[in-house]
Amino acid sequence: GAVVSQHPSWVICKSGTSVKIECRSLDFQATTMFWYRQFPKQSLMLMATSNEGSKATYEQGVEKDKFLINHASLTLSTLTVTSAHPEDSSFYICSARPNRGGRVTDTQYFGPGTRLTVL
């Protein structure tokens, strides 16, 4: 149980284009999902907290107009990198907190990550 998927796993795009990454909880519902960014040999950096049915909360220094987050259902959150540039190339990872018994639990389960390369 507690499986999180991401799609695509790897994407290459041209500078200036937009890329959408999907994060799905496959066997549980999640009111709260998270988006992280990870550079090589570094730990995860939280970008934003995504809440179903409401606006995402962005961390300081993360441009909300550049990284659009939509959490339209209890099993799906999307991250759209708009007008991507080479400096946006990174490993993007989502995580989800399962809802159990009507409340949000404390554990986070991570997706496999999406490697974005912007040319």
Partner 1 sequence: QKEVEQDPGPLSVPEGAIVSLNCTYSNSAFQYFMWYRQYSRKGPELLMYTYSSGNKEDGRFTAQVDKSSKYISLFIRDSQPSDSATYLCAMFASGSRLTFGEGTQLTVNP
Give the binding site for partner 1 (CB under 8 A). Answer: 2, 4, 6, 34, 41-44, 46, 49, 91, 93, 95, 106-113, 115
The residue among 49 and 80 lying less far from partner 1, judged by its C-beta, is 49
- Shortest approach of partner 1 to residue 4 CB, angstroms? 8
The residue among 51 and 82 lying less far from partner 1, judged by its C-beta, is 51
Residue 15: Cβ within 10 Å count: 12
Q: Residue 78 in contact with residue 5, Cβ under 8 Å?
A: no
- Shortest approach of partner 1 to residue 93 CB, angstroms? 5
- Shortest approach of partner 1 to residue 49 CB, angstroms? 8
The residue among 13 and 46 lying less far from partner 1, judged by its C-beta, is 46
The residue among 6 and 75 lying less far from partner 1, judged by its C-beta, is 6
Print burial letters for 27-41: b (CB count within 10 Å at least 16), e (below 16). Answer: ebebbbbbbbbeeee
Q: Residue 101 in contact with residue 73, Cβ under 8 Å?
A: no
Q: Which of 56, 59, 7 is nearest to 33 (CA)?
A: 56
